[in-house]
Structure 1
């Protein structure tokens, strides 16, 4: 298959179960680059066996880690995927057809649509998991990831190109995986708030829970996905409240920051 002057970038930590599928789904990338922050499983060996160049980098936070990856790319155009994501055959064909023209233009980024599997089956109605818009294709000189610990996004100067076919996301395999991710993401977000000295606002937690649940369950159509829709809406609302409670704890008990970091590090989650 003809290759394009494009680098596929994947950030990993213990992704042996996913990395091969992710890398193999982008056969047209001239370079496949894995930025690993210290996997203890076979992630790196599998990545190399599937054509990737592996670079170790201790965890910097999501935004800084992605910006580091940009500096390691051999090409100006970069496609960023997570290890549990992969291109559908339809998107592979669309990218092969349209990318040469996009890469020759002054475009800065390309926005893709992400389709998600949840609890072992695809979500059919819940908007964020059916056709969530994700800006994952970018020119290294025209776009940059925000330097935040979590929930990173691209900022750019120039035009945006949108693609129609979806890429696939194998969401957390179980609610246990989701719960651990919630703990990790909430901790990172609370640390960001602490660094910015944001005032804690515990008084708005009931309103935050109610508004978040209603937004996802009703307006984002989770209700139409049955009990799985209820679970995803409840989980999102609980996360919105938990990160505020955790930040409040950091403010009233600063010692909890180091104690939590030690516990999360013990379980490989403080990264």
Structure 2
């Protein structure tokens, strides 16, 4: 018999993608949804799937997700964003099997990305994310914008439990995220006292482009992969450029 599992989702006006998210893991033993003031059909969709609903003002990405995790009805949780969904029966089967007798604190799941008008080619090397875990041994980290579950205990990777991110349907959305996320990371980078700023600005974007386009095989995504790699390189440039700008501003 496997461990009981709670699907945990945080929302704000996610009616466009939430149904796909909940449907992909409707087999979970419970669904907890923490909303921060939706005015669209988000809550009605959640009710159709029998979710236990909570409402709290948005406290920041890490705090909001941790609050939702703490409300889970079981120790083991599957944490998905409202614009993510498990990729079919293979993902469910892998998760069900992993929860039979888990010997680790959690499992990292591969994430396939929407890349504008297409999705990652099957040959792309997917990033993995810790999304299936024992909530008593895993906590959200404090990285702004990119807050994620973290633990010092052993975790494993479930290669078959792929989930899909539907968050970047066009270039406009991608660029808007790049601008917002790079600004959101300035204070965090300042606290870490980033060194070698000149080298980071000049060299790192090109290195990052090659790492993604060649190393992660984004070239298999065609022109969408090329545009995505250039955008990603611009993102790493922009976040350090904004840190540099803030440093100069503080110095007067």
TM-score (norm. length: structure 1)? 0.82
Q: Distance in 1 between matches of 2:123 and 2:236?
A: 18
Distance 1:141 1:219 in 2: 35
Runs (4 or more) in structure 1 with deviation over 4 Å come to 195-200
Q: 2:124·2:220 contact (CA, 8 Å) conserved in 1?
A: no
CA shift, 1:39, in A, is 2.4
Alignment correspondent of 1:11 = 10
**2:27 is aligned with 1:28:** yes
Match of 1:235 in 2: 231
Shift of residue 211, structure 1, vs aligned partner: 1.1
* Shift in alpha-carbon separation, 1:154–1:89, aligned structure 2, 3 A: same
Contact 2:5/2:76, CA 8 A, preserved across alignment? yes
Equivalence for 1:109: 106
Q: Unaligned 5+ residue runs, structure 2?
A: none
Q: Distance in 2 between matches of 1:119 and 1:183?
A: 17
How big is the shift at 1:200? 8.4
Displacement of 1:157 in angstroms is 4.5
What residue in structure 1 maps to residue 156 of structure 2? 161
Contact kept in structure 2, 1:3 and 1:30, CA below 8 Å = no
The answer (yes or no) to whether the contact 1:9–1:81 under 8 Å persists in 2 is yes
Return 5+ residue gaps in structure 1 as ranges: 255-271
Q: How many residues align structurally? A: 248
Mapped partners of 2:235, 2:71: distance in 1: 34
Secondary structure at the counterpart of residue 80 of structure 2: strand
- Alpha-carbon separation, structure 2, partners of 1:218 and 1:113: 19
Alpha-carbon distance in 2 for matches of 1:251, 1:44: 43
CA positional deviation for 1:192:
1.4
Alpha-carbon distance in 2 for matches of 1:230, 1:125: 16
Q: In 1, distance between residues paired with 2:21 and 2:201?
A: 38
Asked if structure 2 preserves the Cα contact closer than 8 Å seen for 1:10 and 1:81, the reply is yes
* 1:45-194 pair list within 5 angstroms: 45-87=44-86, 88-96=88-96, 98-102=97-101, 105-124=102-121, 127-128=124-125, 131-165=126-160, 166-194=162-190
The separation in 1 between residues aligned to 2:184 and 2:178, in whole angstroms, is: 10
Counterpart residue number, 1:261: none
The 2-side partners of 1:51 and 1:111 are apart by 26
- CA-atom RMSD in angstroms: 2.4
- Following the alignment from structure 1 to structure 2, what is the Cα–Cα distance between the partners of residues 9 and 123? 25
Q: Mean alpha-carbon deviation: is it higher for 60-69 or for 139-148? A: 60-69
User: SS of the counterpart of 1:29?
Assistant: coil
Rate the CA distance shift 1:200–1:162 in 2: closer, same or farther, 3 A.
closer
Structure 1 distance, partners of 2:156, 2:193, is 37
Q: Counterparts of 2:41 and 2:199 in 1: how far apart (Å)?
A: 46
- Is the alpha carbon distance of 1:210 and 1:194 closer, same or farther for their aligned partners in structure 2, counting shifts above 3 Å? same
2:209 matched to which residue of 1?
213
Q: Is the 8 A contact 1:202 1:245 kept in 2?
A: no
* Distance 1:90-1:232 versus aligned 2 partners, 3 A rule: same
Question: Hey, which of these two has a bigger chunk of strand by percent?
Answer: 1
